[in-house]
A and B are shown apart, each in its own frame.
Chain A
Amino acid sequence: MENIVPTTEQSVRERIDEIWRGDTKTLRSCNAIVSYLIANAKQANYITLQSLYSSYEDPDAGAVLKAAKFLSGEEVPLLEMKFQYINDEDDEETASNEEYSVSDIERFRRTGSFEDPRTGEQVPDFERNLYIFFVPTAFAKEVFSKVVAR
């Protein structure tokens, strides 16, 4: 029988446990992200890996990244990975409001072409200026909307 997408906090945590029980670090990271989303999914619209990393004790950077990627997949689709263009990371004024999806990134890479959304100029090394962040999916907001944060 196919593994359908879980639809409650309990079934989300059970599914995570089923898949990651052999990898304690990633299991902990996934559960920490679930707890983070229960507390923040409604209002969060720009989640960095650092904010996920800082949300629990004794984290592991590799495990946080692995967990965030897994939860950005389709088995337990709680996060969506996005990208923001910032020309100069020390100057917030150069941050674009445009958000790019993974599909956009695939297109930029395939065509080798990316335009600065503010100036329209081609950016040769655009991968240096596209920053990863996450947003909670509509699915995550729905699943956790009735869960009281602990």
Chain B
Amino acid sequence: MNLEKLTLEQWAAADKEAERFIRRKTAKQYDQFADVFYDDLLDVIREFEETRSQRQNDGENRMTSEICINLRRFGAYDAIHNRDASGAIDITVTHRLQGFKWIGEAKIFTSLPSLEQGFKQLTTRYSLAAPEYKTGLLAYIFRDDAKGKMRDWKERLGNASLPDLAFSDCSRRKELHFYSTHKHASSGCNFEVWHIGVALHYYPTDTSAEQTRARRKAKGQ
């Protein structure tokens, strides 16, 4: 990369974030903000998954705080962990230029009922219920078969008797994410949730890993 004379073409070719930088700066409609924000959030999630071996002892708060910091690194968002509003919203994101907002609830996946509690908090306790307002439910999945867990969650949600419930695929990552909409009890408007499975299971089975586990077991660790 010639830093002295860097062209737009060279920048766009060398930097996967170049296009998103422009989109963040020029988002004028909520959907434009949501579109680039979802790409950015997915970028952060992929980085989490790539470093999952170091995250096996991380708690919910630590991971969510780190997600907020990583979102702030894009420079365009204020991302706050545990903002107080009728309780504690896990993630509140504000697009600094236009003021667009997004909120997210994050849960370590321990069971479907626990994730359902997160969904209820998001949709009935924290949400502003405005029609232009999108939200997300992050499931940190340390267990195996994250895809199966998200499929089971979708099935449970489908049986939850939510009014006007509809699902749609996530084009970014169909296997682990999906969207739901339902009629919000307070506003009566369509309420969209991006359901985001974060695949953090880490259990290498090569010889070296097995030997390490056996040594730890022998030491009582």
Q: Is B8 an interface residue (CB 8 A)?
A: yes
| Range, interface on chain B | 20 to 34
Q: Type the 1/0 row for A37-76, where 1 means its CB is closer than 8 Å to any CB of B.
A: 0000000000011100100000001001100011111111
Complex CA–CA separation, A73 to B20 (angstroms): 12
**Interface membership of chain B positions 9-39, coded 1 if the CB is closer than 8 angstroms to chain A and 0 otherwise:** 1011001010001111110000000000000
CA distance A96 to B72 in the complex (A): 35
Task: Mark B80-95 against chain A: 1 for CB-CB distance below 8 A, else 0.
Answer: 1001000000000010
Q: In the assembled complex, which residues on chain B have CB atoms less than 8 Å from the CB atom of A132?
A: 6-8, 11
A83 CB → nearest B CB, Å? 6
Asked if A19 is an interface residue, CB under 8 A from chain B, the answer is: yes
Structural contact, A75 and B22, CB atoms closer than 8 A: no
Given A2-B94, A3-B78, A106-B22, also A19-B3 (CB < 8 A): no
Cβ–Cβ < 8 Å partners of A3 in chain B: 72, 78, 80
A61 touches B75 (CB 8 A): no
Secondary structure call for the B interface:
mixed
Quick check: A65 and B15 within 8 Å, CB to CB? yes
B4 contacts across to A, CB distance below 8 A = 48-50
A143: Cβ under 8 A from any B Cβ:
no
CB distance from A58 to the nearest CB of B (A): 15
- Inter-chain CA distance A72–B94, complex, in Å, is 17
A69-B17, A125-B9 known; 6 other A-B pairs, CB under 8 Å? A20-B73, A48-B3, A48-B5, A73-B76, A102-B22, A102-B26
Q: Give 21 A-B contacts (CB < 8 Å), ordered by A residue.
A: A2-B80, A2-B94, A19-B72, A61-B1, A64-B3, A69-B21, A70-B73, A73-B24, A74-B75, A75-B72, A75-B96, A76-B75, A102-B22, A103-B25, A105-B8, A106-B25, A106-B26, A128-B9, A131-B5, A131-B6, A132-B11
Contacts from B to A (Cβ < 8 Å): 1, 3-9, 11-12, 15, 17, 21-26, 69, 72-78, 80, 83, 94, 96-97
